[in-house]
Each structure stands twice: as C-alpha cells, then as structure tokens.
Amino acid sequence: MTGAVIAMGIGLATWSGGASAAPAIVRHTATPPGLILQGVTVPAGAKMLYLSGQLAAPIGAPPPAGTPATIAQYGDTRTQTISVFEKIKALLAAQGFRMADVIKLTVFVAGDPKLGGKMDFAGMNDAFKLYFGTPENPTTVARSTVQVAALAAPQYLVEIEATAAK
C-alpha cells in the first residue's frame, strides 16, 4: 500500500505511543488571535499525513489536447485556491482525516499578470477563510505563504502543501 500512497502524492507516517492516551495536539494562537496560528505542538503518537503540493483543476472541461492551457481556464487566485482546498479535502478524507486535522500549510502563489506580476494575497486569503475559522471547521493552521516566480505550468497561480495530524 505504501507504493500506492506515494504514487498519489501522499506520504503517511504513524508513530505508536505507550499504553496511555497520547497528549493532545496543541494549537498556539498568535497574539492577538489572528487568521493563522503561531505554531502547533504535535505529541509523539500522533498520526501524521503529509500531502504533496496540490494544483487547481480546470474550471470546466480540460483544455483540448495540444492546446496550451491558460489562467482563464483555471481561474484567478481565489478560484484556484478553492479548487486546491477541495482537492486537499478529498485527499484527507480518503485517508480518514478532515480539514480540522490540518495543522500546517505552505502556500505558493505565483504573480498574476492582471496584477502586474504581484501575487493576489487577498484572493488567496479570501478562499482560505472559506475552509478555516468557519462554523464547519473552527480551527486554523500554522501557515507560510510565499510568492514564487512560477509554478509547474503558466496556468497555475496557487500550489498548497498540507500537513495533518490527529
């Protein structure tokens, strides 16, 4: 099964603790409380899931074969971020995790040509708020967000790596 898991872009590590219950995962809030955490403490014995960077899916049908893909076919930064979080949500569920189990995100945002090559941090954050700090998922995460020169192909504006623990 490990080969299948790695082929999907997912790494899974589990540690066994002693007979007693493992201490809880501790989310360290920022001061004052903010959109993201200052950090997270994960105790020995926690089940960990590391997701590789995920990219957006096309909005409609995939571009025809041999046709270069465009940003318009994948959407703006906000739209791509939502697409990526939906992929992450599905990958987590397939391994028995939930979005509330996510403890760390690394977000790579490419510059948007419509914004003069600057990343759309507000668009990414707007989509982030649909998945974290909500009634469905009141938790938030430790997160790093960086602008990159480019991602795997020119149509992509966002790539997100996720780490979950429970």
- Tell whether the model's pLDDT for residue 78 goes beyond 90: yes
Segment 7-35, tens digit of pLDDT: 333 333 444 444 556 679 999 998 887 89
CA distance 158 to 150: 9
State which H helix or E strand residue 48 sits in. strand 47-55
Q: Residue-wise over 119-138: b if at least 16 C-beta within 10 A, else e?
A: bbeebbbebbeebbbeeebe
CA distances, 154 to each of 3, 55, 70, 100 (Å): 30, 12, 7, 31
The dihedral through the CA atoms of 80, 83, 89, 93 has a sign that is negative
pLDDT of residue 20: 57
Cβ neighbors of 105 (< 8 A, separation 6 or more) are 141, 142, 143, 144, 160, 161, 162, 163
> Mean pLDDT across the stretch 122-150?
97
> Mean pLDDT across the stretch 96-125?
97
- Tell whether the model's pLDDT for residue 120 goes beyond 80: yes
Q: Which amino acid is at 9?
A: G
Please tell me the pTM assigned to this model.
Answer: 0.85
Mean pLDDT for all residues in the chain:
88
> Mean pLDDT across the stretch 113-139?
96
pLDDT of residue 142: 97
